[in-house]
Structure 1
Amino acid sequence: MKVLCFDACQEWILVSLYQVHTISTGEVRIQEIDTFQEYCPKESSHRLILEIQTILQKNKITKPDLLICTIGPGSFTGIRITVSTGKNLSQLWEIPVMGVNSLECYASFYFARSKSPIAILIDGKQSRYYFSTKTETQFSSTLDINIEEIKEVLSQNKNTGIHEIYYSGKIPTDLKQKTIRIEENLPNLLPWLEQIKNDLANANIETYNYKALNANYIRPSYVITNKTNGHL
């Protein structure tokens, strides 16, 4: 099974191809075929289709067997284009499509890298942040909160030993934990795929179809939010 994964919800773009196969013992294995990653602010969502076409042509693949895309949170434009691309390609190729919470994907990658509990912090603008944590046993829900609330959450979770925060965008400098820019080492989906590899091998279009793929905006549109806050 060939799996096409993509993410353009943030200021970077990721397009990857994987081979998923089951060996004689019944174990499911995942092998990377090819990956394209680039930090490209304000361009990632607009380049998504082109990079998908490029990686498929490069590897002489007419169509994959399964699609996986991030669904947010992130930029509104990035989420909309990433999810609509997943829906359109699933419908066009008549193949299953699975969605993944963006921060869960990133958290899985950086947890595998650091081997210790970590936090993900994405600048959501308007002085608010998309925030999640991951330990060996749990990925927290994704929160849309301000920096004081983040400090409160971290103080309440001292026992989890979160010492590193992987972030994108502008963040305050007075956080006690070590902060590492995501752009210094862009994430991929492989650690998350390893966690669900048995589901991948059994994915079908009845369960994972384009109609079931929904964007995870978390926050209403900027226009609605600004009206609510009295800014418009």
Structure 2
Amino acid sequence: MLTLAIDSSTDNLGLALMESGQLRGEFNLSLKRQHSEKLLPLMEEIFELLEIEAKDLDGAAVATGPGSFTGLRIGITTAKMLGRIFAIPVKGIPTLEIMAAGAAGAYRLALLDARRERVYYAFYQQPEADSDDFIKEIYPPAAVRIAELPEVLNDYSQKQITIIGEKKLEVGKVLKASNFSIKYGEPESDLPRAAVLARLGENYLKRGQKDDIYQLKPAYLKKPQAEINWQQKYGSN
């Protein structure tokens, strides 16, 4: 099974090819606002380097956010295009799940900056060693004020929590002040890795878990600023 992973949800642009559990190649590049220009050329490059053609793909996985509004649209549209052209299944996976699945620790708090002293967060637990289940989602992705996280995570204050992602130092300071036991994940887990997305995508697709490409959409978790400004000026109708 040959799976292409596409992640354009953050400043990091990620591409990876996984074939039956073996990583064939991976790009993780900090390109900030260049995703629209670089995604398709990088796809062509990774196919050429690995002597693979797009028609050889058996499936595609794509990060669904939260994250950059423009970046998410670019990645998801590309995955949908591949699904339609080559009649392959597509699986969308939350960006915070990708981050958590690439980290270590029994309990993992994944974070992305939501600005104005807020973060997007999701909380996960490692499955039992003898289980073939994916990482267990305890709290799904949501936006929250950093100061409110001790209350949100109160039931797990006696567990050691591994914090990964943006704003992890600020969040760690707040949790420590509330007597949480925390540790910080390694730097490579602070952004979603394309190889992890490819692994998750392959596993989901093997289980028959795919998305309807006509229903697949970004998980923004908040409205674009332009829409907020419009509603403030003209109302919601």
TM-score by length of 2: 0.78
Structure 1 unaligned spans of 5+: 21-29
Q: Matched residue of 1:213: which SS?
A: coil
8 A contact 1:168–1:182 mirrored in 2: no
Aligned pairs (5 A) from 1:1-232: 1-20=1-20, 30-63=21-54, 64-110=57-103, 114-137=104-127, 138-139=136-137, 140-162=139-161, 164-168=162-166, 172=170, 174-175=173-174, 176=176, 177-180=182-185, 182=187, 186-188=191-193, 190=195, 199-201=204-206, 203=208, 208-226=211-229
Residue identity in the other structure for 2:12: W
Alpha-carbon spacing, 1:213–1:77, altered in 2? closer, same or farther (3 Å): same
Higher relative contact order (CA 8 A, sep 6+): 2
8 A contact 2:164–2:189 mirrored in 1: no
Alpha-carbon spacing, 1:199–1:74, altered in 2? closer, same or farther (3 Å): closer
In 2: Cα distance, 1:16 partner to 1:198 partner: 15
In 1: Cα distance, 2:186 partner to 2:231 partner: 32
CA shift for structure 1 position 194: 5.3
Alpha-carbon spacing, 1:202–1:181, altered in 2? closer, same or farther (3 Å): closer
Alpha-carbon spacing, 1:165–1:19, altered in 2? closer, same or farther (3 Å): same
In 2: Cα distance, 1:91 partner to 1:57 partner: 22
Higher alpha-carbon deviation: 194-203 or 40-49 = 194-203
In 2: Cα distance, 1:167 partner to 1:185 partner: 4
Q: Matched residue of 2:62: which SS?
A: strand
CA shift for structure 1 position 199: 4.0
Alpha-carbon spacing, 1:49–1:221, altered in 2? closer, same or farther (3 Å): same
8 A contact 2:15–2:26 mirrored in 1: yes
Residue identity in the other structure for 2:215: A
8 A contact 2:5–2:197 mirrored in 1: no
Alpha-carbon spacing, 1:185–1:214, altered in 2? closer, same or farther (3 Å): closer
Post-superposition CA distance 1:108-140 (Å, at most 9, x none):
111xxx233121110022432110111124212
8 A contact 1:37–1:186 mirrored in 2: no
Q: Matched residue of 2:153: which SS?
A: helix
CA shift for structure 1 position 178: 3.8
8 A contact 2:5–2:195 mirrored in 1: no
What percentage of residue pairs aligned between the two structures are identical?
24
Residue identity in the other structure for 1:219: K
8 A contact 1:120–1:167 mirrored in 2: yes
Structure 2 unaligned spans of 5+: 128-135, 177-181
CA shift for structure 1 position 171: 6.2
Post-superposition CA distance 1:84-106 (Å, at most 9, x none):
11111211222211111111111
8 A contact 2:96–2:141 mirrored in 1: yes
